[in-house]
Chains A and B, each alone.
Chain A
């Protein structure tokens, strides 16, 4: 701090507290709603303090089978699997292609670089129908492959590794070559261990990315066996016309669905910040 101004300090804290409250407000409401019975939430005058139904609601969400969605544990498993496959897949294919681009001078390198770059320009949202068709033609609807592989290509991760490899001293590689190490050995024994922090930071970001996917799983799965949590929660929320939505249960499900990535951000904040800042640079 440049100088000490007590009034300014008070205002700073005040602004931040208000900011934190605004940011936390919707989730606070969700958590409170998840702790009450259905009757407490039937009008806008909902209680502002937690009730005692949290366990019951969670048990009901987790154990009761609902028409049109998969069991909760299965959807959680699907979300987890999807997030992990996407994370591992993206990192794996990005790191090897970045390695090829940086450490080899092969014909067509420029073209490869641009082809990868193009993926930045085509978010899944703008090519929904034809991508769906491709996945369908390959027989990948309702499969983990269909859920994950089309999302695995990533320009940002490739660029991140490329940037990082450029900062690795050339001497390392020269020394390795003198020792007679081939490209695969160099990659495995030297580059990979050096990239550990980058990989960890990227994993955090990519796991969140995979976990919160919604549109794509919604398109490629028609079999409840492959539904993810995001879809399941949305389907629970869309009441089918008869009776009021069961807000206490929906909110309990919402809280459960957002818990894993939120916890990751909170407990792995340093890696998260590094990952986010570096991928977007």
Chain B
């Protein structure tokens, strides 16, 4: 890892400077993560009065539990759908704004602000709009013969959280796509225009390949977002129901551990998720490194 050519002479000072960050990390990140690993091997009663070591029991149960396997598949569907929808729409919008010179900023402003809406508030908004008895969309949908009731229909519940989560994420993707597009040299596009390539063809053959670092980066970020940051959305719209149709992996950690008080199993699920994030982060980091060397 690089530093400055010249540095300050050694003293206790650097240790003092990193201490606050390190202490917080150790107390609130490393230690609890270790605790999660420990309790994933234990069985504990809800009040924390007794614990017994049970080895890999929670893990073997977890991966034999059709509910958990279903939750993995469900989370994958959710994550992919949100990633594709929100990135797709964001790319279209960013490409449009990029074509404009004068009105581009105004559109950007109007597309950026949902980033600041809290997931739980986004959930409440969409819950109101899709409420089966008082919501406006079910009312409109009923004219098209669609009977909307996400409290009973698992697929509709999934659609609801996908819409809410995608809506919230469009701004973020839009911003990064726009930044990516603006760094594409105009000369390239102009050269292609002279070769009389149409705008559609130009976009796919020249611009989009140049965006691939951005696209890849956004894919990782979006997967991370749908896996973890959507807790508030799920909690405010469906609370994992109906019949677990929207019980994602993160929501399950919470509902099994905090509501269901099954601490061992919830911890085992935490550990599985940690391994997943570590994998994702390593991929991201290697990619960042490669790009830096470029």
Q: Which single member of B99, B121, B186, B217 contacts A233 (CB below 8 Å)?
A: B121
- State A237–B127 Cα separation when bound (angstroms): 10
Binds A, one of B56-64, B66-74, B133-141, B150-158: B133-141
Residues of chain A within 8 A of B17, CB atoms compared: 96-97, 99-100, 104
Residues of chain A within 8 A of B126, CB atoms compared: 26
Kindly identify, within residues 132 to 181 of chain A, every residue whose CB is under 8 Å from any CB belonging to chain B. Answer: 132-135, 138, 149-150, 152-153, 158, 166, 170, 173-174, 177
Q: Give A24's nearest chain B residue, CB to CB.
A: B110
A122 and B116 contact, CB distance less than 8 A? no
B13 and A100 contact, CB distance less than 8 A? yes
Nearest CB in chain B: distance from A50 CB, A: 15
Instruction: Say yes or no for B219: interface residue by CB 8 A criterion.
Output: no
Residues of chain B within 8 A of A211, CB atoms compared: 116, 118
If the complex has contacts A116-B25, A127-B36, A234-B120, are A280 and B221 also in contact, measured as CB distance less than 8 A?
A: yes
Residues of chain B within 8 A of A269, CB atoms compared: 105, 108-109, 112
- State A158–B20 Cα separation when bound (angstroms): 12
| Interface band, chain B | 35 or more
Residues of chain B within 8 A of A138, CB atoms compared: 27
If the complex has contacts A12-B99, A20-B111, A250-B124, are A130 and B14 also in contact, measured as CB distance less than 8 A?
A: no
- State A42–B131 Cα separation when bound (angstroms): 11
B29 and A230 contact, CB distance less than 8 A? no
B189 and A46 contact, CB distance less than 8 A? no
Residues of chain B within 8 A of A126, CB atoms compared: 36, 228, 250, 253, 270, 273-274, 277
Instruction: Say yes or no for A240: interface residue by CB 8 A criterion.
Output: no
A277 and B175 contact, CB distance less than 8 A? yes
Q: Which single member of B27, B121, B199, B228 contacts A230 (CB below 8 Å)?
A: B121
Instruction: Say yes or no for A115: interface residue by CB 8 A criterion.
Output: yes
Kindly supply a per-residue 1/0 record for chain B positions 1-45, scoring 1 wherever the CB is within 8 Å of any chain A CB and 0 otherwise: 111111110110111011011101111111111111001000000
Instruction: Say yes or no for B53: interface residue by CB 8 A criterion.
Output: no
Residues of chain B within 8 A of A247, CB atoms compared: 128, 134
Residues of chain A within 8 A of B20, CB atoms compared: 92-93, 96-97
Kindly supply a per-residue 1/0 record for chain B positions 273-285, scoring 1 wherever the CB is within 8 Å of any chain A CB and 0 otherwise: 1100110010000
A214 and B231 contact, CB distance less than 8 A? yes
Instruction: Say yes or no for A262: interface residue by CB 8 A criterion.
Output: yes
B39 and A129 contact, CB distance less than 8 A? yes
A121 and B18 contact, CB distance less than 8 A? no
Residues of chain B within 8 A of A103, CB atoms compared: 3-4, 7-8
A105 and B134 contact, CB distance less than 8 A? no
Q: Give B8's nearest chain A residue, CB to CB.
A: A183
- State A251–B10 Cα separation when bound (angstroms): 57
A262 and B116 contact, CB distance less than 8 A? yes
Nearest CB in chain A: distance from B82 CB, A: 15
A262 and B253 contact, CB distance less than 8 A? no
Q: Which single member of A26, A106, A120, A166 contacts B167 (CB below 8 Å)?
A: A26
Kindly identify, within residues 72 to 115 of chain B, every residue whose CB is under 8 Å from any CB belonging to chain A. Answer: 89, 92-93, 96-97, 99-101, 103, 105, 107-115
Q: Which single member of B33, B122, B125, B278 contacts A130 (CB below 8 Å)?
A: B33
- State A33–B128 Cα separation when bound (angstroms): 10
B7 and A105 contact, CB distance less than 8 A? yes
B258 and A16 contact, CB distance less than 8 A? no
CB pairs A–B below 8 angstroms (6 shown): A23-B110, A93-B21, A106-B14, A125-B228, A129-B263, A133-B32
- Residues of A whose CB lies within 8 Å of any CB of B are 1-3, 5, 8-9, 12-13, 15-16, 19-20, 22-24, 26-27, 29-30, 33, 41-46, 92-94, 96-97, 99-106, 109-110, 112-113, 115-116, 118-123, 125-135, 138, 149-150, 152-153, 158, 166, 170, 173-174, 177, 182-184, 186, 208, 211-215, 219, 230, 233-234, 237, 244, 247, 250-251, 254, 257-258, 261-262, 264-266, 269, 272-273, 276-277, 280
Q: A212-B119, A214-B235 given. 17 additional CB < 8 A pairs?
A: A101-B3, A103-B3, A116-B21, A119-B25, A127-B36, A129-B36, A130-B35, A133-B35, A149-B24, A183-B11, A212-B120, A212-B121, A213-B118, A234-B235, A250-B124, A266-B112, A273-B175
